[in-house]
Amino acid sequence: MSPVKVGILGLGTVGCGTLNVLRRNAHEIARRAGREIIVTHASARTLDKPRPCDTQSLRLTNQPMEVVNDPEVSIIVELIGGTSLARDLVLQAINDGKHVVTANKALIALHGNEIFNAAQQKGVMVAFEAAVAGGIPVIKAIREGLSGNSIQWLAGIINGTSNFILTEMRDKGRDFDSVLAEAQQLGYAEADPRFDVEGIDAAHKLTILASIAFGIPLQFDKVYIEGISNITAEDVSYATELGYRIKHLGIAKRTAEGVELRAHPTLIPYRRLLANVDGVMNGVLIHADAVGSTLYYGAGAGAEPTASAVVADLVDVVRTLTTDPENRVPHLAFQPDSISEIPILPIESVQTAYYLRMMALDRVGVLAQVATILGQCGISIEALIQKEPVGGADKVPVVMLTHSVQEAQLNQAISQIEALEGISGSVIRIRMDTLAG
Ligand SMILES: NC(=O)C1=CN([C@@H]2O[C@H](COP(=O)(O)OP(=O)(O)OC[C@H]3O[C@@H](n4cnc5c(N)ncnc54)[C@H](O)[C@@H]3O)[C@@H](O)[C@H]2O)C=CC1
Ligand SMILES: N[C@@H](CC=O)C(=O)O
Ligand code: NA
């Protein structure tokens, strides 16, 4: 059979990684796919710059639409990133009857409903394994491996850059900015690294995971988002002292009232497997009724780990090129006419435990006032540590862990505590992982 011809849009970290993996493993990939898969066309913004991949045999252009519209190409691999040009290119490819593979989680989270609808009309595939947790085949695991289950919740370390930063801060005492610069240099970070450290990238991925886990539309705008940019070295060290690690988690949980969708820093007991997912590694823990808990672990970013997922998608697409579109695995795991609107719950209704840190005047009675407020709001304290005054000042850091409480009640307590004369500045709050009981 003749080779399948592929066009790659964007020859950056993932684009070059994909070219290299496809070439190095060409023989085994062809044995798996049943046909040779070759990249014939590519588009890059700058044509003649040195790259870690060989582009000599490619028809190279700086006009990505030319690749999309070239009749020789039957699969388009979108690795440009962003949501504007990428959306136009992907919709055009679908309109031309081409299959698409993309690593672009922002594109899927924001425009996936429109894109999958267009793909269904045209009977083409849009594959996006690389968009969530890089090389970990978690999309495939949820869509296919867990399809007999009712999924109850999932919690994932799904941003490699944030996890790399938190790990280096904890293990080597490095400062935030220098670790972020290294993550950028290693090709882990997004073009705009605020997407990583402000939790937006994790929220894109969580949007996708929740959709395929629960059969709901992609709803990025309903995710509660907090990043790691306000996590201080003190919080990392107090958490360690209390037997916890701070990780950035994306959490999606089905409750009787609806679905919780939240991406934020989280304290996890250090013995839990997720607490030990370090560096650029990602880990996704999924709890489902039949199988119980399953954990998926691996590299969440970087050239070849991400290329591994892009190439696996290419193999999947090639294997099912001749399959009747109705018989392919649905894009969002559930059949398109069975996607249901389940309410997404506001963060105030979430019930969890909290790490609180505040600066208190080193004076008798202040802690008693704080404890009274917490008690009146129905919040009980599980642990409390009072540190030495900072720099000889008369203020002491106080750190406490609460039992589970509704976020709305905690908000009330925090505003009353912040109003106390004996408390200076804001109360820092980090949610704790209470999912596994
Ligand atoms: N780097 C990683 O570890 C991972 C990245 N991704 C996603 O993969 C996609 C690509 O990411 P990277 O390779 O890291 O980005 P990158 O910035 O290294 O590469 C993107 C490439 O697209 C090119 N480009 C931009 N506009 C273009 C245009 N108009 N025409 C042709 N080329 C154009 C850029 O010049 C650049 O070389 C993004 O959607 C990203 O979110 C997903 C998983 C992991
Ligand atoms: N910037 C992302 C790349 C992979 O999705 C990350 O750090 O996880
Ligand atoms: Na993946």
Question: Which mean pLDDT values do the consecutive 10-residue runs of the chain (437 residues) have?
Answer: 96 98 98 98 96 97 98 98 98 98 98 98 98 98 98 98 97 95 97 98 99 98 98 95 97 98 98 98 98 98 98 97 93 97 97 97 94 97 87 87 98 98 97 89
Q: Cβ distance 288 to 240 under 8 Å?
A: no
Q: Which residues are catalytic?
A: 205
Q: Cβ distance 422 to 367 under 8 Å?
A: no
- Binding-site residue set: 9-16, 105, 190
Strand runs labelled E in 119-258: 126-127, 151-157, 224-225, 244-254
User: Which residues place a Cβ less than 5 A from the ion ligand 3?
Assistant: 129, 132-133, 136, 309
Question: Rounded to whole angstroms, how far apart are CA atoms 299 and 174?
Answer: 22
Q: Cβ distance 119 to 97 under 8 Å?
A: no
Residues with CB under 6 A from ligand 1: 10-15, 43-45, 64, 79-81, 85, 103-105, 130, 134, 187-188, 190-191, 301-302, 306
Start-end of CATH 3.40.50.720 domains in the chain:
4-136+304-338
Q: What is the CATH number of domain 138-299+342-347?
A: 3.30.360.10
Give residue 58 CA to ligand 3 midpoint distance, Å: 27
pLDDT of residue 391: 66
Say which amino acid occupies 249: L
Ligand 2 contacts CB of residue 159 (under 6 A) = yes
Assigned CATH topology for domain 4-136+304-338: Rossmann fold (3.40.50)
Q: Cβ distance 356 to 432 under 8 Å?
A: no
pLDDT of residue 387: 83
Say which amino acid occupies 234: E
Give residue 12 CA to ligand 2 midpoint distance, Å: 14
Give me the interface pTM, i.e. the ipTM.
0.99
Vertex 85, ends 53 and 192: CA angle to 5°?
70
Give residue 132 CA to ligand 3 midpoint distance, Å: 5
pLDDT of residue 388: 81
pLDDT of residue 393: 76
pLDDT of residue 57: 95
pLDDT of residue 228: 98
The CATH homologous superfamily for domain 349-432 is: ACT domain (3.30.70.260)
Q: Give the closest residue (by CA) to ligand 1 atom 8.
A: 103
Start-end of CATH 3.30.360.10 domains in the chain:
138-299+342-347
| CA proximity to 202, closest of 179, 180, 224 | 224
Question: Rounded to whole angstroms, how far apart are CA atoms 347 and 236?
Answer: 24
Helix axis angle, 366-376 to 407-418, nearest 10°: 150
Ligand 2 contacts CB of residue 300 (under 6 A) = yes
**pLDDT tens per residue, range 168-178:** 999 999 999 99
- Binding-site residue set for L-homoserine: 190
pTM of the model: 0.98
Question: Rounded to whole angstroms, how far apart are CA atoms 402 and 356?
Answer: 8
In angstroms, how far is the first alpha carbon of the chain from the final one? 54
Question: Rounded to whole angstroms, how far apart are CA atoms 370 and 289?
Answer: 41
pLDDT of residue 430: 98
* CB burial of residue 84 (10 Å; 0-12, 13-18, 19+): exposed
Question: Rounded to whole angstroms, how far apart are CA atoms 57 and 34?
Answer: 23
Work out which ligand 2 atom sits closest to the CA atom of 162. 7
Give the full edge-to-edge strand order of the sheet including 37-43. Answer: 59-61, 37-43, 4-9, 75-78, 99-102, 126-127
Closest ligand relative to 89 C-alpha? 1
Give residue 143 CA to ligand 3 midpoint distance, Å: 12
**Residue whose CB lies within 8 A of the most ligand 1 atoms, among 13, 77, 108, for a mutation test:** 13
**pLDDT tens per residue, range 36-48:** 999 999 999 999 9
Q: Is the four-CA dihedral 164, 167, 170, 173 of positive or negative sign? A: negative
Question: Rounded to whole angstroms, how far apart are CA atoms 59 and 67?
Answer: 9
Start-end of CATH 3.30.70.260 domains in the chain:
349-432
**Residue whose CB lies within 8 A of the most ligand 2 atoms, among 138, 166, 201, for a mutation test:** 201
Question: Rounded to whole angstroms, how far apart are CA atoms 100 and 209?
Answer: 19
Question: Rounded to whole angstroms, how far apart are CA atoms 205 and 134?
Answer: 10
In the block, tokens 């970990």 appear at 136
Give residue 9 CA to ligand 1 midpoint distance, Å: 9
| Rg from Cα positions in the chain | 24
Helices (H), 221-365: 233-241, 303-319
- Binding-site residue set for NADP(+): 9-16
pLDDT of residue 210: 98
Task: For residue 63, give the DSSP letter.
Answer: -
Helix axis angle, 13-24 to 26-33, nearest 10°: 80
Ligand 2 contacts CB of residue 410 (under 6 A) = no
**Residue whose CB lies within 8 A of the most ligand 2 atoms, among 129, 161, 198, for a mutation test:** 161
